[in-house]
Chain A
Amino acid sequence: MSLTELVPAIRMLPRADKLRLMQFLVIDLAQEEGIPLLSADAEYPIWTPLNAFDAADTLLQMLQTHQAKP
């Protein structure tokens, strides 16, 4: 099937399906090129404990206690 044949069918698609088609093409091309993309279905770990203020307070108290020992 050629692009010329596909275009009228694509034009008849609902807006949401057109967006899905675009997303499909982007992901398909990226995979062919070996370009990693983030997936909405996957979970990506963030190891950095950002804003772990309670943990920081606990460790600082431990340090003070440790360093106060004779």
Chain B
Amino acid sequence: MTTPVRFAYDDAVAGRTDGSRLAYLPITLRHATQVLAVVGLLDTGSTVNVLPYSLGLQIGLVWEHQTTPVQLTGSLARLPARGVIVSGQVASFPPVDLAFAWTQATDVPMILGQVNFFMEFDVCFFRSQAAFEVKPTGEGP
């Protein structure tokens, strides 16, 4: 049985209460030869994973090479997005394939959503302790 790894919520925004703390997960993305250590917002209300434009460039993605359009909703619906698949590793768990909607928006956090982050990882939130635990589901989509 896999033991979950525990993470703390991020710090409160300056001048704001404890309610401003969010669950950002450290994750390592890999694409071809590029490796990028980032944090992603655990967003259970998001149907999909979202990769900001700048992070996609940093990991070596080329917009013109991505040919699958993805229609997002909310504020991101105004900008084009394309589907990409990169490898993601949490803590020392085995890496998994993560599908992202790579948006041209830059002022957005990396979002980890239902497809397919929450299909690959079980997450338990302990908001009263400002902590959450993550472990692989062991099942693909």
Chain A residues proximal to chain B, CB less than 8 Å: 45-56, 58-60, 62-64, 66-67
Contact = CB atoms under 8 A, between A and B. Distances in A.
A52 B101 CA distance: 11
Contacts of A46: 74-75
Contact of B75 (A45, A59, A62, A66): A45
Contacts, number: 92
A47 B41 CA distance: 11
A47 B113 CA distance: 12
Nearest to A57: B115
B141 A49 contact: no
Interface in B23-64: 43, 45-50
B115 A56 contact: yes
The bracket for how many chain B residues form the interface is 20 to 34
A51 B72 CA distance: 9
Contacts of B45: 48, 50
A55 B101 contact: yes
Contact of A58 (B68, B105, B108, B113): B68
B71 A59 contact: no
Nearest to A50: B45
Interface in B68-111: 68-77, 81, 83, 85, 97, 99-101, 105, 108-109, 111
B108 A53 contact: no
